[in-house]
Structure 1
Amino acid sequence: MSTQDRPRVDLSRFDNSWYVIGAGPVKRVLWYFTNALCFINPLFPFRSVKPALLRLFGARVGKGVVVHPGVNIKFPWKLSIGDHVWIGQRAWLDNIDRLTIHSNVVISQGAMIIQG
């Protein structure tokens, strides 16, 4: 089949007006910088404050959660993490919709979870 015979996608008809981010512009900007400085940044030394920061931005976070350096989280207000969860280095949680991580789960280093 030649490229001329393939069906084409008409991107001019794309409409995502139904999508709700779930946070105002100030909260999104604050999260952008918090994520960059405290989560993505591998030199941030205070691993124990990361669950509290996630809660501050609306995530539901259980006890015993460990978030290693270099983790990128899209929208914490759409995130729910159970008890005793480990999120490995350089994991990427691209949660444009509600993401639930149940208790006693390990998300390995470099893993990418795309939700939405």
Structure 2
Amino acid sequence: MAKQASYNAAEHISADTAEDAYLRPAFSFETRLRRMFWNLCWLLLYRLSPRPFHAWRTLLLRAFGAKMGPNCHFYPGSKVWAPWNLICADQVTAADGAEIYNPAPMRFGSHMIVSQDAYLCGATHDFDDPAFPLLAYEMSFGAYSWVCARASVAPGVNVGEGAVLGLASVATRNLEPWGVYAGAPAVKVKERKRPVLPDEPAALGTGVHTPS
């Protein structure tokens, strides 16, 4: 089944804004203004903050509308395109260089990790439409999932609980829970051993700890 975009610029931006469709903005003036203020905040207050100041950066993200659970670790070199579309459970990590491009809501489960220089891409363009409008997709990343360094997740792809996307891999399809994926495009290479989570009985077995 085809992915369903949650935002189509053609439905929100009037054709009267520019005769050449490629010169039309992808977002409303209000969104662009919010982005300008957030970019200034990121440059002056977020990016320059000391690495251990996770609570400070969480406060800044919340000030711009992010929903952040306790103990989230967003490092100063991480980038969030739209904090108001960021929804995090507890102890979500975004390392230096990680980029979260989220024109539509992105949800992150407990203990989810985005490693260095990983790119989560929440939008593309409709190249079959002459106006080339931007299409944005809601996406979710399950609890204990891990997007490894320099890996990329394509628009509209969801990452299941405990799934791992390996170093520099590219996810173009949904990742099944507790699967380990590698390659470009990424394919499943093995099953990940499930750890015993705090709210689960020991009978489920033992396994690896959450990567850090």
Identity of matched residues, %: 26
Question: 1:48-87 to 2 correspondence within 5 Å?
Answer: 48-87=55-94
Give, in angstroms, the shift of residue 50 of structure 1: 0.6
Q: Is the 8 A contact 1:22 1:77 kept in 2?
A: no
SS at match of 2:104: coil
Give, in angstroms, the shift of residue 78 of structure 1: 0.8
After TM superposition, the runs of 4+ consecutive aligned structure 1 residues lying more than 4 A away are 19-23
1:44 aligns with 2:37: no
The aligned amino acid for 2:40 is F
The equivalent residue for 1:8 is none
- 1:74-100: CA deviation from partner (whole Å, max 9, x where unpaired): 011111011011111110001111101
2-side partners of 1:71 and 1:99: how far apart?
Answer: 15
**What TM-score do the two structures reach when normalised by structure 1?**
0.74
Look at both structures and tell me which one has the larger radius of gyration over its CA atoms: 2
2-side partners of 1:49 and 1:106: how far apart?
Answer: 19
The equivalent residue for 1:16 is 9
The 10-residue stretch of structure 1 (54-63 or 44-53) with the greater mean CA deviation from structure 2:
44-53
The equivalent residue for 2:100 is 93
Give, in angstroms, the shift of residue 107 of structure 1: 0.8
Give, in angstroms, the shift of residue 47 of structure 1: 3.2
Higher helix share: 1
Q: Is the 8 A contact 2:54 2:72 kept in 1?
A: no
The 10-residue stretch of structure 1 (63-72 or 18-27) with the greater mean CA deviation from structure 2:
18-27
1-side partners of 2:91 and 2:54: how far apart?
Answer: 14
The aligned amino acid for 1:18 is E
The aligned amino acid for 2:79 is N
Change (3 A) 1:104 1:22: farther
**What TM-score do the two structures reach when normalised by structure 2?**
0.43
Which of residues 27, 41, 56 is equivalent to 2:34? 27
1-side partners of 2:98 and 2:29: how far apart?
Answer: 23
SS at match of 1:38: helix
Q: RMSD of aligned C-alpha atoms?
A: 2.2
SS at match of 1:55: helix
Change (3 A) 1:38 1:82: same
Number of residue pairs matched? 100
